[in-house]
Amino acid sequence: MFKLNFARNADNLKKKNGKPDKSNNAQSGVPHKKDMLPYVENTSKTLTKNNEIANDLFIKHDVKRGLRNANGTGVVVGLTRIGAVDGYKINEKNEKVAVEGKLFYRGYDVEDLVKNCIAEDRFGFEEISYLLLFGDLPNKKQLAEFNELLSSHRELPVGFARDMIMTAPSANIMNKLARSVLALYSYDPTPDDLSIPNVLRQSIMLMGYFPPLVSYAYQAKKSYFDNESMHIHNPLPALSTAENILRMTRPTGEFTKLEAKLLDISLMLHAEHGGGNNSTFATHLLSSTDSDTYSVISAAIGSLKGPKHGGANLAVLKMISDLKKNVKDITNHKEVEKYLIKVLKGEANDGSGLIYGLGHAVYTISDPRAVILKGMAKELAADKQLLDDFMLCDFIEKRAPVLYKEVKGTDKPMPANVDLYSGFVYNALNIPIDISTPLFATARLSGWCAHRMEELIAGKRLIRPAYICVQKPLDYMPISKRK
């Protein structure tokens, strides 16, 4: 471990009073740019008016908004053998019937996969990655060979960390991660080769690279945007993905076995979630165009970055932080309940009226990932003396669905989703909030790569959905006559 001081590009990375100088004069030699704010504020009103579409038109044309059927189920757009999400059944009246949630990887119940790794006291994320990619559980020899390939690609290409990450840091790690993946295209001798062996090579390489990509992006962000010391640790080939992440994000590089095992389980639970989630569908969508692996994965990262998708775990962390600022004693459930009611009324937290960490598009009674993670989180809470924080999550899980019904009058199932307890786990592990969603991307990369190859092998057809234009024809008007 060493502290790194580097000379920043004078034109792009100047600081003013210890903070980034974002003024137009920060770049010497660049002419003054006209303030765009008045223009965009004024013209955006016209833009908004000209893009509004009446709700009854969606009904008239039977548009499946959000690719959802009238009963709330997803529109079927493809077939997959990789993952299955069971959260409801459809009865003879075409109605959704709530059932206990189940998640399957290549036909295997994820609960069985996690339980066996715990019972055998070993890390399981790499095995899950192998299973998702190849469709079979590896034997010891196959897993050892796969781990060796991953380990050999923990080190980034020579100069990449300095040239692509340190000299161009980003305040958002997901943004930097997507840019880094795109940049790796230039380091690949055959980036556009769509043969399965080549795409498999690229996939394994990216799986190896992701821990240092995330960790170094975080360290650069800390130094440039937060004015904190940057600590760079080289990845160790002998360590698992979870161990390397903890090693490279912490100043001292130290971690306990329990911490690494719990992060490993979190990665296992986030690795795949069927083909219908937004980022995986984006992977299928771009892969159907025969685009390169780096463009496809960077698009998936961009999708996951959104707060309605992968960014939801970040929303949980921010909500809990806001709760603690406004509730002096988190063991006082009456005060916690008052806060949650304010959240639902849009009077607390971000004003959205949402209690994050509850509800899911598919799961109705339970999210199996949350059930598994909750059991492990309780053990971590006892070890870290954070039982009050754990019981806070437990109270939110049990009481908030009732408050939803009382305050908003909704009967929609609101089980705890994986974000509620992954947020607690990340807090307990002292994982920086900046990398909570990037860790999600690190886990989901395995699923994305598996789905990309499935699309190349079985899809073989450009995905091209249809839109109906509801704009009436207009007569052209010469510019001299326009108001």
C-alpha pair distances (Å), 470 with each of 57, 61, 474: 8, 10, 12
Rounded to a whole number, what is the distance in angstroms from the first to the last CA of the chain?
66
Whichever domain contains 349, its CATH number is 1.10.230.10
Among 428, 451, 474, give the residue marking a domain's end: 428
pLDDT digits (tens, 9 = 90+) for 420-435: 999 899 989 999 999 9
**Residue 16 domain-assigned?**
no
Q: How far is C-alpha 58 from the geometric centre of its chain's CA atoms?
A: 30
Confidence of residue 5 (pLDDT cuts 50, 70, 90): very low
Confidence of residue 185 (pLDDT cuts 50, 70, 90): very high
Contact 423, 436 (CB under 8 A): yes
Residue 9 has pLDDT above 80, yes or no: no
Residue 11 has pLDDT above 70, yes or no: no
- Of 245, 253, 191, the closest CA to residue 217 belongs to 245
Residues 283, 382 within the same domain = no
Kindly state the percentage of the chain with pLDDT values over 70.
Answer: 94
Residue 28 has pLDDT above 90, yes or no: no
φ, ψ of residue 159 to 5 degrees: the values are 85, -5
pLDDT digits (tens, 9 = 90+) for 410-419: 888 899 999 9
Q: Is 154 helix (H, G, I), strand (E, B) or coil?
A: coil
**Residue 71 domain-assigned?**
no
**C-alpha to C-alpha distance for 408 and 414, rounded to whole angstroms:** 13
pLDDT digits (tens, 9 = 90+) for 287-325: 999 999 999 999 999 999 998 888 888 889 999 999 999
Q: Give yes or no: 360 in active site.
A: yes
pLDDT for res 223: 95
Q: How far is C-alpha 288 from the geometric centre of its chain's CA atoms?
A: 22
Lowest mean pLDDT segment, chosen from 139-148, 224-233, 289-298, 410-419: 410-419
pLDDT for res 19: 52
Per DSSP bridges, beta strands 108-109 and 96-105 are antiparallel
Amino acid at 392: L
Q: Give yes or no: 231 in active site.
A: no
pLDDT for res 3: 42
**CA 103, 133, 375 angle in degrees (round to 5)?**
35
Contact 71, 94 (CB under 8 A): yes
Amino acid at 98: A
Residue 191 has pLDDT above 80, yes or no: yes
**Residue 40 domain-assigned?**
no
Kindly state the percentage of the chain with pLDDT values over 90.
Answer: 83
Lowest mean pLDDT segment, chosen from 25-29, 37-41, 108-112, 121-125: 25-29
Confidence of residue 27 (pLDDT cuts 50, 70, 90): low
Residues 124, 174 within the same domain = yes
pLDDT for res 274: 93
**Residue 248 domain-assigned?**
yes
Residue 23 has pLDDT above 70, yes or no: no
Residues 161, 278 within the same domain = yes
**Residue 9 domain-assigned?**
no
| Structure-token match 């709760």, residue found | 323
Residues 144, 224 within the same domain = yes
Contact 336, 392 (CB under 8 A): yes
Q: Give yes or no: 61 in active site.
A: no
Token pair, residue 40, equals 């965009």
Q: Which of 284, 419, 434, 451 is catalytic?
A: 419
The pLDDT of 368-393, averaged and rounded, is: 93
Residue 6 has pLDDT above 70, yes or no: no
**C-alpha to C-alpha distance for 393 and 415, rounded to whole angstroms:** 12
Token pair, residue 26, equals 């920060």
Residue 14 has pLDDT above 80, yes or no: no
Token pair, residue 423, equals 């947020």
What value does the mean pLDDT of the chain take? 91
The pLDDT of 203-212, averaged and rounded, is: 98
Range of the structural domain that residue 333 is part of: 326-428
Transcribe 30-49 into DSSP letters.
PPPPPP-HHHHHHHHHHHHH
Residue 30 has pLDDT above 90, yes or no: no
Confidence of residue 345 (pLDDT cuts 50, 70, 90): very high
Q: Is the dihedral of CA 324, 330, 335, 338 positive or negative?
A: positive
**Residue 114 domain-assigned?**
yes
**Residue 382 domain-assigned?**
yes
pLDDT for res 307: 86
The pLDDT of 207-215, averaged and rounded, is: 98
Residues 277, 418 within the same domain = no
Whichever domain contains 109, its CATH number is 1.10.580.10
Residues 350, 280 within the same domain = no
Q: Which of 86, 193, 309, 333 is catalytic?
A: 309
Residues 261, 342 within the same domain = no
Contact 113, 105 (CB under 8 A): yes
Residue 192 has pLDDT above 50, yes or no: yes
Q: Which of 231, 270, 273, 360 is catalytic?
A: 360
Residues 143, 223 within the same domain = yes
Residues 270, 126 within the same domain = yes
Q: Is 270 helix (H, G, I), strand (E, B) or coil?
A: helix
Residues 192, 291 within the same domain = yes
pLDDT for res 340: 97
| Structure-token match 């034109």, residue found | 11
Q: How far is C-alpha 476 from the geometric centre of its chain's CA atoms?
A: 46
Confidence of residue 4 (pLDDT cuts 50, 70, 90): very low
**C-alpha to C-alpha distance for 111 and 269, rounded to whole angstroms:** 9
Confidence of residue 96 (pLDDT cuts 50, 70, 90): confident
Contact 451, 463 (CB under 8 A): no
C-alpha pair distances (Å), 324 with each of 319, 331, 332: 9, 11, 12
Residues 273, 150 within the same domain = yes
Question: Looking at the 3D structure of the chain, how many domains does it have?
Answer: 2
Residues 338, 448 within the same domain = no
**Residue 65 domain-assigned?**
no
